[in-house]
Structure 1
Amino acid sequence: MATFDYADMQATAHELIEEFGQAGVVTRLEPPDPVYGGDPVPTPYPATLVPMAYEARYVDGTVILSGDMQIYISAVGLAIEPTVGDVVNANGAEYAIVAGDPNKYDGITPVVFIVQGRSVA
């Protein structure tokens, strides 16, 4: 049985996100130095992404709130895996990641990152 080429699927997802999406930034707060302390350091990572509002039928008021965004982030060229605690800058607004799915169907290759973003403001 032939194996599926997830790298090809990742490339296709990237092409679609690049065509229909926008440039954005995923910012991660790096912890302070364990010895010297200090404040967490925000580290920005450029990304290509597509932010979309959730359909009304998915907004339940507990897990998904009104104003939450479903954000598709291309895995190509992104140095980190977006996770809870990171902040995504899209549409001129900041969204804290409250849930995410790396879509690693083979357990290795992230095809696309799909995250739930909640407005920081």
Structure 2
Amino acid sequence: MAFNYARLQAIAQRLIEKFGQTGTVTRIAPPDPVLGGDPVETAYPAKLVPMSYDQRYVDGTNIRASDRQIYISSVGLAIKPTVGDEAVTADGIAYHVIAADPNNYDGITDVVFIVQGRTNP
């Protein structure tokens, strides 16, 4: 019997909807290598929950005191957050994605995206 990851995804989405806030995941596409031009910045709306790391995980190098662990609902999000993206909270603080975990246990369903956000890359 297979585990129902879609149900787990729905639970995560409900919790993020209830306790989270509206934000965006911004992806910057580089300019065309032949034609040049400016980088293209695209913002994707998302529901997310930024949280501080537990003090025992803060080592000052891999995880800094100002880093945030950001839970992003995968439901309705057009992209998968990756390193280099920005997750912007509703408070207007831009966090650069330092590490990303899609929580995709069966290879099909992204349950929730958990990213490490840092204000200064």
Q: Same fold (TM over 0.5)?
A: yes
Correspondences of 1:9-88 after superposition (within 5 Å):
9-88=8-87
Q: Any idea what the Cα deviations from partners look like across 1:47-100, whole Å, max 9, x if unmatched?
A: 000000111111001100110000000000000000000001013200000001
Distance apart, 1:107 and its partner CA = 1.3
2:110 is the counterpart of 1:92: no
Give the AA of the match of 2:81.
P
TM-score scaled by length of structure 1: 0.95
Identity of aligned residues (%): 64
TM-score scaled by length of structure 2: 0.95
Moved over 4 A (4+): none
Contact 1:94–1:120 (8 Å) recurs in 2 = no
Q: The residue matched to 2:117 in structure 1 has which SS?
A: strand
Distance apart, 1:5 and its partner CA = 1.0
Q: Any idea what the Cα deviations from partners look like across 1:11-47, whole Å, max 9, x if unmatched?
A: 1100000000000000000121233111211100000
Note the aligned Cα RMSD (angstroms).
1.2
Unpaired runs of 5+ residues, structure 1, are none
